[in-house]
Amino acid sequence: MTQAAEIRVAVLDDYQDVAAGLAEWGSLGPEVAVDFLHEPIPRAEAAARLAPYDVLCLMRERMPLDADLIAALPALRLVVFTGGRNPSVDTAALAARGVTVCNTRNGEGGIATAELAVALMLACARSLPREFANMAGGRWQETLGEGLEGRTLGILGLGRIGARVAAVGRALGMRPVAWSPNLTHERAEAGGAALVGREALFSESDVLSLHMVLASSTRGIVGAAELARMRPGAILINTSRGPLIDEAALVAALREGRIRAGLDVFDREPLPADHPLRGLPNAVLTPHLGYVTQSTFRMFYEDTVEAIAAWRRGAPVRVVTA
């Protein structure tokens, strides 16, 4: 008779079915049983489906782990989430339960996200999705694109990723400007952009790219008033977090044809199949791909295996405290 595994591990939201091949899960030993879950788990089913597991491995913020769900998981002893921080995990509730929480290194997520932001700019400016569809359908060119040289690139949030986008913008001949609540002239200059006021950022930018952390102070920072200030035909890029933008106001502005948008993040993810954004011709959408690269995922899963092994030895690594 085969002995039952002592420890059950769930690797959540492995959308691409790649986790098993990117790390040596077998090195954890025969007493560790690992299940790779490829589809998102609906909130109503989460407690029942995750209750048997001792270890949960979370991909970024795809599965929120709040106090109510934690209370419904009596077997849970270890949580490993990928990346350096995860505001959707209630670390205080886990600590109160005596559950160890570990993270992983960040990988190249910041670099890759900046690259995707620029890709979305170009896709919007040159109507690439429409022309891709034309070629696939046997048709020829139908659109007039726009060049980015000489255009103003607005950066809302000039941190590490925002500064990298600004650098690529300069390489394309764009003029980067930036604003955020605490940005100074000196920090803006160091980040490769000119500091402007909040209203000017929206009214002067031909392309506006968001690079802010989602918090109570930044939720909805781009609302109907800000969208109304944007230039006709301006491009709004969001590779940060969906709730930074008032989604209803954005859908209204896009439906009116006043602006264009390149979006990698949304209020609800995965984006529902019938969401109105999916049917708008002036919206270029990607499924939260900013950090999704082979090298980053390999680092994520290798670090996850390392964290589980270290925890089993009684010497956990990269421990996250409440």
How far is residue 105's CA from residue 101's CA, in Å, rounded to a whole number? 14
Q: Quick one: which H or E segment has residue 207?
A: strand 207-210
Structure-token pair, residue 62: 């795809």
CA dist 145 and 48 (Å) reads: 51
- The three-state DSSP-derived secondary structure of 9-72 is EEECCCCCCCHHHCCCHHHHCCCEEEEECCCCCCHHHHHHHHCCCCEEEECCCCCCECHHHHHC
**Cβ atoms of 248 and 220 closer than 8 Å:** no
269 is catalytic: yes
Let me know: does 72 contact 47? Beta carbons within 8 Å: yes
Q: Does residue 256 carry a catalytic annotation?
A: no
Any catalytic annotation for residue 211? no
Catalytic residue among 108, 131, 146, 269: 269
Of 241, 247, 260, 306, which one is the catalytic site residue? 241
Exactly one of 62, 260, 288, 306 is catalytic; name it. 288
Cite the active site residues: 241, 269, 288
